[in-house]
Chains A and B, each alone.
Chain A
């Protein structure tokens, strides 16, 4: 337990000094700020293009438009940036051999996995919270009085999907020693899950619903209870992924 916090501290120092945390915070801050602004400005940009004889009618933007931009940005670019930043979290240490010194000092392998997962989760949560708070502030400022439903739950769903991706990334890192394997596997998992979403029976349990139904939640097109099974499967998957990462890593020859 003591070693868990020591190694977690090292991981956090690492994300600060290698600018991972900074990059995440900047990217997510920009997404948080851009989303309401794009929603607000898009109609004006369009109207400046209109020439005579053509009329483009655009309804007035609302807070929903702002959140649509937010969830689109984070669930696509945001998650991609995160996965790219963290894809080498285990592979780099294994291929360089920096972990050998720590393991021969008595650091247990399960501690390595758990503290690495925690540090990724912390960076993701902080950046995502920043994006959310900034977006919330701008949305309230730019679209005063607009109502949205289930906002917090919707935001939670995307957060959980991010955690799910991190656990997949970690699991893939214990399977494959090189740098790009984890990236490929995580991308593959997302592709498969998205494809699975076509089948409505699977959709109910599919973690990727957590990243695609966010706006529908806000407009009450989807009820929070509809996502209950998706949340449950995601939590179970995260636990299984982290658990099997530990099991595999303990058996790995270094």
Chain B
């Protein structure tokens, strides 16, 4: 079942159109990577899902319920982490979470349990000072805690990892993948390695439309080129392998770059055997021999062009 469905969504700011007919569906219990350049319209789309911005046309359905601008009904099942989460600086984290719980209409005893649970999930249990002294990373963690407070079935995170240090980033990603079982996560980013790390579905927003959408493995499979990357210890080895007469058939294209040769073939199985045999015949031992995997970066560059 799809937890979120977007149909023909359009949004203009003045005469600048940001979203032009976006169609998107997010299956339940997935970690959905929403990728796009700066200014592609990721935040705008998310705000429309939350009913904070008014779409010019199109439908957004969350949990089978249509989102209407300014209404709060659909928000009950959504948790939102803004790109730069800001809190009331004069409160401490526990007080802030209590306020969140009260606003969401959760009973007092449950608020206490839930606050403690979340505060340890995000690793802020030893922090008892006011939020005004928090670093960006700490605010990001508290942001996740508040977004998860009402046990949302859909968690929307707007660039949760940008501007964090590598350790903070890893921890945020770990938290997101830890809650995967209970909650569907949509997170926008322009850091592709984050997507590869935790997402199972991915969509690329470009020019106000989806340029690419599907499961990560499907996309990769679809765009895989048959080929091998062979890396040699010495440039001489690469040179002499490159010069082999056997490689000069029309089925095979080889490209050399320093110690590495990239070879595109028609049949992975047959030609792979052939290459290994050739290496053995020439008595060259490569230090790496692998099937070429498309990187997300290449895929996206391809999709955008």
Chain A residues at the B interface, C-beta cutoff of 8 Å: 2-3, 6-7, 10, 13-14, 17-18, 96-98, 100-109, 250-251, 253-254
Contacts and interface: CB of A to CB of B under 8 A. Distances in A.
B197 interface: no
Nearest to A16: B90
B105 interface: yes
Interface in B44-87: 47, 50, 52-54, 70, 72, 75-76, 78-80, 82, 84-87
B254 to A, nearest CB: 54
B63 to A, nearest CB: 15
A106 B70 contact: no
A2 B86 contact: no
B90 A13 contact: yes
A96 B84 CA distance: 9
A98 B103 contact: no
A104 B50 contact: yes
Interface of B: 47, 50, 52-54, 70, 72, 75-76, 78-80, 82, 84-88, 90-91, 99-100, 102-105, 146, 149-150
3 closest Cβ contacts across the A-B interface? A17-B90, A104-B80, A96-B86
A172 to B, nearest CB: 21
11 contacts: A2-B105, A14-B90, A98-B87, A98-B88, A101-B80, A101-B100, A104-B79, A105-B100, A105-B150, A253-B52, A254-B52
Given A102-B99, A254-B53, 4 more contacts: A7-B103, A13-B90, A17-B91, A97-B82
A91 to B, nearest CB: 14
- Of the listed residues B53, B75, B88, the one surrounded by the most CB atoms of chain A closer than 10 A to its CB is B88
What secondary structure prevails in chain A residues at the interface with B?
Answer: helix
A107 B71 CA distance: 10
Contacts, number: 72
Nearest to B78: A104
Nearest to A2: B105
A100 B70 contact: no
Contacts of B50: 104
Contacts of A6: 99, 102-103
Contacts of A13: 90-91
A18 B91 CA distance: 10
- Of the listed residues B52, B54, B78, the one surrounded by the most CB atoms of chain A closer than 10 A to its CB is B52
Contact of A106 (B72, B82, B85, B90): B72
Nearest to B150: A105
- Of the listed residues A10, A14, A104, the one surrounded by the most CB atoms of chain B closer than 10 A to its CB is A104
A182 B50 CA distance: 28
B84 A108 contact: no
Contacts of B85: 97, 101
A204 B48 CA distance: 49
A100 B54 CA distance: 15
A107 B86 contact: no
Contact of B82 (A101, A105, A107, A250): A101
Contacts of A104: 50, 52, 75, 78-80
Contact of A101 (B72, B78, B87): B87
Given A10-B99, A250-B70, A254-B52, A105 B104 contact: yes
Contacts of B80: 100-101, 104
Contacts of B91: 13, 17
B82 to A, nearest CB: 6
Contacts of B75: 103-106
- Of the listed residues B53, B80, B85, B86, the one surrounded by the most CB atoms of chain A closer than 10 A to its CB is B86
B52 A105 contact: no
B103 A18 contact: no
Contacts of A253: 52-54
Contacts of A103: 52, 72, 75
